[in-house]
Structure 1
Amino acid sequence: MTLPVMEPDLDGATLKQWARIVDDGPFSSLCWGERIAFGNPDSSTLLGAVAAWTDRVRLVTTVVVPQLHDPVMLAKALATGDMLSGGRLTVGIGVGGRKEDYDAVGADIATQTMRGMAERVAIMKRVWAGEKVTESVLPVGPPPARVGGPPLLVGTIGPKTVRSAAQWADGMAGTTLDLDVGQQNALFDVARAAWSAAGKPKPHLATSFWFAMGEGDGPRAQMHRHLRRYMNWIPAEFVDAMAPTTGWTGDEDDLREVLRAFEAIGTDEVHLIPTSADVDQLRRVADVAADFI
């Protein structure tokens, strides 16, 4: 389950309530995304909070963009979160899809590439391995809970990115806009083949989609409002055109059917993305998720 970090008028109490309900089960992971030129919480600060608010669930960044950060400081922040959570961190990493986020922090948009991301991942892994990245007296710490650093998932919807990441990632954290199971399975096959060719164990296969739980026309209207707000860098007429077929809306039985379809193609994890901070929708999804333990 993803925290509703992209919703308006958030406060700490709401996020804490969501985190604790997710931690109580049956969810496997608690996720949150990163944006800069938006009203969402800072990813690293939130990591510290959710590490304190939870005890069981894995904590997953979906995704953090290393090109928007100094890689040494990002490695230190993530290692700190991993230490505070007792080794429950998984790091989803992507190149980011918004130029305005790069502009906001003065990052070079030319680094918005797989090469740019891989170069920063290599630095982060050196930090996590305890290597000195400068002539300092001591290396940058703290050490992460797992030797070599937390598991890494590449956030992508494209086969080229998946193949490129096989050298350094432990799996993928993709997303599907239209819930096309066949298309998702084709991308999973690319990952399976790339990891095998790299001599690595089977990749962790995760995907995600937006959801709005409920009956009637209300959930689709909720989805549309969310997409209009979240996709604010895209012309509104394009968002309006895609809104009727983007994400999932429905009731508990509908959601079970969708999750079973993803389970059937070997999906290890589905990261559900809320389009409302309404805790009732979270509880309704939890009832469905309990069937997949």
Structure 2
Amino acid sequence: MSVGLGLPIAAPEQLPTWARRADASPFSTLALLDRLVYANPEPLVTLATLVGTTERVRLQTEVLLAPLHRTALLAKQAATLDLLSGGRFTLGIGIGGRPDDYLAAGIEQRTRGRRLDDQMARMRRMWNGQPLGDEVGPVGPAPARPGGPEVLFGGFVPAVMNRVARWGDGFLGAALPPAHMDRLFRDVEAAWAKQGRAGRPRLVAQVNAALGPEETVAAARREAHAYYHPSPFADHVAEGILTTPRAVRDAVAAFRAIGADEVMLYCWAPDPEQVERMADAVF
């Protein structure tokens, strides 16, 4: 099983340092979250920058709020990232639930699920080199991975499981303990089989973690709380951050036991020394 890192968003200027350190470590993937009405760096632009500072580690959106983006441009950006990274890009996507993000983008929130389904149908056609219509030719470049970059869907409702089975390569589950994630993983596998897909879906779990001195842990809790505020779960998320090597190892083992192909350790504090601390804890 692979283990990756979720990049912090509090100090974007430090992310190239994170990327170089992770690229020299056993970690498999670097991921970056998405919001519009927040101070996080834009994920596609940021990951494109990190492509040039890495050679081995994969780069992933976790998750990109696809309905906020224009479909043809998103398909072109994802294909370009996949091509320039040599096939190291994973497009993790979801719909989000913050009304202000949709208001800022001028997109109707109520229909975001249907919009995402339409986006996936169109992007798959573009990544396969097909024209979009009689008056619109193919949109390139061709991605490094035939048919488009790896696509993971994040979320918790049955529609997400069906999207994985119909359009995706796998599922990305976040903010749930292994006992609850186990049910979601099994639901994804059932939807995959019902759709008649060959093989099995890729299953990825995310857990929040912060290793280091007291100020690093405190910074992680502040950042996580600010990001999830005003959700009623903000306190729960901040206090639930794993803060010891033993807790991190136990979580990774528990997700491995329920069939996770990869566990993403999301690091909220900007302290780049966490890369080596996490590596020592896990590997």
- In 1, Cα distance between equivalents of 2:238 and 2:146: 45
- In 1, Cα distance between equivalents of 2:228 and 2:250: 28
Alpha-carbon spacing, 1:274–1:166, altered in 2? closer, same or farther (3 Å): same
> 1:230 — aligned with what?
227
| Count of residues paired in the alignment | 278
Moved more, 182-191 or 221-230: 221-230
Preserved CA contact (<8 Å) 2:30 2:57: yes
Moved more, 223-232 or 33-42: 223-232
Alpha-carbon spacing, 1:214–1:111, altered in 2? closer, same or farther (3 Å): same
Alpha-carbon spacing, 1:230–1:246, altered in 2? closer, same or farther (3 Å): same
Alpha-carbon spacing, 1:280–1:263, altered in 2? closer, same or farther (3 Å): same
Are 1:193 and 2:175 matched, yes or no?
no
- Flag structure 2 segments of 5+ consecutive residues without an equivalent: none
Q: Secondary structure at the match of 2:95?
A: coil
Deviation of 1:10 (Å): 3.1
- In 2, Cα distance between equivalents of 1:278 and 1:80: 30
Matches within 5 A, 1:240-255: 240=235, 242-243=236-237, 245-250=239-244, 252-255=245-248
Q: Secondary structure at the match of 1:248?
A: coil
Q: Normalized against structure 1, the TM-score is what? A: 0.88
Matches within 5 A, 1:77-226: 77-113=77-113, 115-135=114-134, 138-177=137-176, 180-200=177-197, 201-214=199-212, 221-226=218-223
> 2:277 — aligned with what?
284
- In 1, Cα distance between equivalents of 2:237 and 2:20: 31
Task: Please report the RMSD computed on the Cα atoms of aligned residues, expressed in angstroms.
Answer: 2.0
Q: Secondary structure at the match of 1:282?
A: helix
Preserved CA contact (<8 Å) 1:159 1:187: no
Moved more, 195-204 or 126-135: 126-135
Deviation of 1:221 (Å): 3.7
Q: Secondary structure at the match of 1:50?
A: helix
> 2:234 — aligned with what?
239
- In 1, Cα distance between equivalents of 2:162 and 2:62: 19
> 1:56 — aligned with what?
56
Alpha-carbon spacing, 1:264–1:128, altered in 2? closer, same or farther (3 Å): same
- The amino acid across from 2:184 in the alignment is L
Deviation of 1:105 (Å): 1.4
Preserved CA contact (<8 Å) 2:80 2:143: yes
Preserved CA contact (<8 Å) 1:127 1:140: yes
Alpha-carbon spacing, 1:243–1:29, altered in 2? closer, same or farther (3 Å): closer
- In 2, Cα distance between equivalents of 1:74 and 1:194: 26
Q: Normalized against structure 2, the TM-score is what? A: 0.91
**Which of residues 244, 252, 259 is equivalent to 2:252?**
259
Alpha-carbon spacing, 1:135–1:51, altered in 2? closer, same or farther (3 Å): farther
Q: Which runs of 4+ in 1 moved over 4 A?
A: 134-138, 217-220
Deviation of 1:90 (Å): 1.1
Preserved CA contact (<8 Å) 1:222 1:275: yes
> 2:23 — aligned with what?
23
Alpha-carbon spacing, 1:249–1:140, altered in 2? closer, same or farther (3 Å): same
Deviation of 1:203 (Å): 0.7
Preserved CA contact (<8 Å) 1:94 1:155: yes
Alpha-carbon spacing, 1:171–1:109, altered in 2? closer, same or farther (3 Å): same
Larger relative contact order, structure 1 or 2 (CA cutoff 8 Å, min sep 6):
2
- The amino acid across from 1:213 in the alignment is L
Preserved CA contact (<8 Å) 2:152 2:170: yes
Preserved CA contact (<8 Å) 1:174 1:207: yes
- In 2, Cα distance between equivalents of 1:137 and 1:120: 16
- Flag structure 1 segments of 5+ consecutive residues without an equivalent: none
